[in-house]
Amino acid sequence: MQQFEKVKAKFFYQQKKRRREKNKVAAARCRNRKKERTDLLQKESERLETLNSELKSQIEELKSERQQLIVMLNLHRPTCIVRTDSVKSPESDQRSEQSD
């Protein structure tokens, strides 16, 4: 009977060892997937921050260009021969933007 108990104990020990090894491999795989996901999200975050910065810069450039065009238009307006009521002036555009 003692021999049977030893075989039984050895079997359960090997089963437990096998389970621990499988769990160890699964945990390592899980950590690797988590790290890859974190790295991917970090890269995506950096890409979006760069894009956001570029877009903000573009907005500032466009605002500056708009201001320059308004100045040019205002300089040209006194000498302009063609005037129509259907053409909006920059001032009326600004007033309508402010009222919105």
Q: Is the pLDDT of residue 100 over 80?
A: no
pLDDT, tens only, 33-83: 999 999 999 999 999 999 999 999 999 999 999 999 999 999 998 888 876
Q: Write down the pLDDT at residue 88.
A: 59
Residue 30's pLDDT band, with cuts at 50, 70 and 90, is very high
Using alpha carbons, list the distances in angstroms from residue 67 to 56, 62, 71, 72, 94: 17, 9, 6, 9, 12
Helix, strand, coil percentages (3-state) for the chain, rounded to 5, are 90, 0, 10
**pLDDT for the residue 28:** 98
